[in-house]
Structure 1
Amino acid sequence: MKKLAFTFIIINLASFSIAGFTNNDSFEVNWNNLEYAQKLAKETPRPLFIEFTAKWCGWCKKMDKTTFSNSGVIKMLNEDYYAVKVDFDSPAPIDYQGIKYTGKELAKKFGIEGLPTMIYVPSSLEGSKKIVGYKTSKQLIKQLNRMNDP
C-alpha cells in the first residue's frame, strides 16, 4: 500500500512539474510604475507605453485578457518599451516629469477622453501619441510599429 501511495505522489509531482514548464501564466507584461519607467528611460533609452485603465472599464479588462496576454504583445512591450499602467481613478500622486498628478489629472494632461487609451512617449520623454480604444494584439503591434518608424 505504501508503494502505491508513493507512486501516486511521484506521478502527481511529475504532472505538476510538467504543467509548470508548459504554462505561460508567468509570461506577462512587466508593468512598471510611471516614476520608475521614467528613470529607466533616462538610464537606458526606450519609449514608454502607458495604459490608462480603471476597474469599471470593461474594454480595459478585455484588453488585459486578450491583447496584453498575447505572446507577441508581451515580447514587444517587455523588450522595446517600459510598460506602465495608470489607474484613472487613483487619487495617489503620480510623478510625471517632476509634477504630481492624480490618475484623472494625468489623463487630462494627455487629452484622454475615454478608456482604454494608451500613450506612447518617446525615449526622450518629449511629446506623446495616443492609441484610443480597444485594440486586438495585431492592431496594437501594428500601431506601435508605426510609432517607432522615423
Structure 2
Amino acid sequence: MKHFRKTFLMLIILLYPLLHFGQERINWVSFTQLDSLLSIAPRETMIFMHTDWCSYCRKMEQEIFTKKDIIELINKHYYAVRLDAESIQEISFDQSIWQPKSKKKKAGRYHPLALQLLQGRNIVFPSILRLDKEFRLRDIQQKYLNSKELHDFLE
C-alpha cells in the first residue's frame, strides 16, 4: 500500500503539467510590445487595470479570463494589456517613459500611466478600458464583470 501511494503521487506529479497542455490563454502583451503592435497592425486594445490587493481583480483573472469564449474574443479582436496600477516599474510607451514617483510599492500610490489612462476618473479596481485602433478611450468599466458582462462590453 505504501508503494502504491508513492507511485500514485509520482504519477500525479509527472502528469499534472499535461493537464494544462493545450489550454488557451489570453495573449497578454506589455506596453512596449503594444507600441510596436499598434504601429504595425492597428487593433483595438483592452487594458485590465488591477492591484495586488484587489480580490475582485484576482477573481476576474482566475474565473473570467480563463473562460474559452472570453479568451477567443479577446485574442481575436484585441491587444490585451495588464497594468498593475501601483507598479513601481518604468514603462516605455508612446515615445514616453512613464516613471513611478516612488521606488517602493504602496497601496494608494498609483503609477502615472494608470492615472493618465483613467483621465481624471475615480480610481476603482478592477478597471477595464477599451480603446480603439488609434488608442482613444472608447469605453470603461470600473467594477467586477462576470463573463456575460465582459463579453457584452467587448462586443
TM above 0.5, yes or no, is yes
Within 5 A, what are the aligned runs for 1:1-150? 16=15, 20=18, 23=20, 26-101=23-98, 102=100, 104-111=111-118, 112=121, 113-145=123-155
Amino acid at match of 2:139: K
Structure 2 unmatched runs, 5+: 1-6, 101-109
Q: CA deviation at 1:130?
A: 1.3
TM-score for the superposition, normalised by structure 2: 0.74
Superimposed CA distance per residue, residues 69-108 of structure 1 (whole angstroms, 9 cap, x where no aligned partner)? 1111111111111100011111111123222224621221
Amino acid at match of 2:146: T
Superimposed CA distance per residue, residues 25-46 of structure 1 (whole angstroms, 9 cap, x where no aligned partner)? 7311111101211211221121
Q: CA deviation at 1:119?
A: 1.1
Superimposed CA distance per residue, residues 92-145 of structure 1 (whole angstroms, 9 cap, x where no aligned partner)? 111232222246212211225111001111111234421211001110010111
Amino acid at match of 2:73: M
In 2, distance between residues paired with 1:95 and 1:120? Answer: 20
Q: Which moved more, 1:27-36 or 1:95-104?
A: 95-104
More helix by share: 1
Q: Is the 8 A contact 1:42 1:123 kept in 2?
A: no
Amino acid at match of 2:124: G
Structure 1 unmatched runs, 5+: 1-7, 146-150
TM-score for the superposition, normalised by structure 1: 0.76
Q: Is the 8 A contact 2:129 2:137 kept in 1?
A: no
How many correspondences in the alignment?
133
